[in-house]
């Protein structure tokens, strides 16, 4: 019984921190081939590994271009309004613009952290200021779970 409870606890940590958990594809998600096309184009244009970009996209929105977080992040890559504005995108819910902007931001984080994927993913979730302040992955349970979830998905693509 303890082993079962431990396994369930680990799955909860790996697949989501919220009550909703991680869904492979949300009810309003784009189909997998549309996501693959968006990811392929954006990863090539921004120098981000396609598996990493897909892992972040799926962790952020489960493929739903209309997703909005409680904090106000929007679209497939869950861009904050300031990030969208810095990319110059008019509609953060447009899948192409959103993924291109998110890929550019993720690419800049990979560059900033010398291609350390763990730190770039942590910064995508918690912000680069938090990663810099703590000199690594911040001690926030949500961010730590997010990093594990994204890295596991990345390695499986």
Q: What is the domain partition of the chain in residue ranges?
A: 2-156
Question: Pick from 72, 55, 69: which is nearest to 120 by CA?
Answer: 55
pLDDT at 21 over 80: no
Q: Which ranges in the chain belong to alpha helices (H)?
A: 2-15, 32-46, 50-61, 81-87, 95-112, 117-126, 128-134, 141-156
Catalytically annotated residues: 60
Average pLDDT, integer, range 133-138: 98
pLDDT tens per residue across span 101-127: 999 999 999 999 999 999 999 999 999
| Domain 2-156: assigned CATH number | 1.10.530.10
Per the structure block, which two tokens stand in for 94? 């447009």
Quick check: 26 pLDDT over 70?
no
């Amino acid at each position: 019984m303890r082993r079962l409870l431990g396994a369930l606890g680990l799955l909860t940590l790996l697949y989501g921190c919220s009550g909703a958990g991680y869904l492979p594809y949300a009810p309003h998600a784009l189909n997998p081939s549309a996501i693959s096309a968006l990811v392929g184009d954006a990863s090539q244009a921004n120098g981000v590994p396609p598996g990493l970009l897909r892992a972040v996209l799926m962790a952020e929105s489960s493929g739903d271009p209309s997703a909005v977080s409680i904090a106000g992040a929007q679209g497939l890559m869950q861009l904050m309004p300031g990030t969208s504005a810095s990319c110059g995108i008019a509609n953060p819910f447009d899948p192409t613009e959103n993924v291109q902007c998110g890929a550019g931001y993720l690419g800049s984080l990979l560059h900033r952290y010398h291609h350390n994927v763990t730190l770039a993913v942590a910064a995508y979730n918690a912000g680069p200021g938090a990663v810099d302040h703590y000199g690594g992955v911040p001690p926030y349970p949500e961010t730590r779970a997010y990093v594990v979830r994204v890295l596991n998905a990345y390695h499986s693509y």
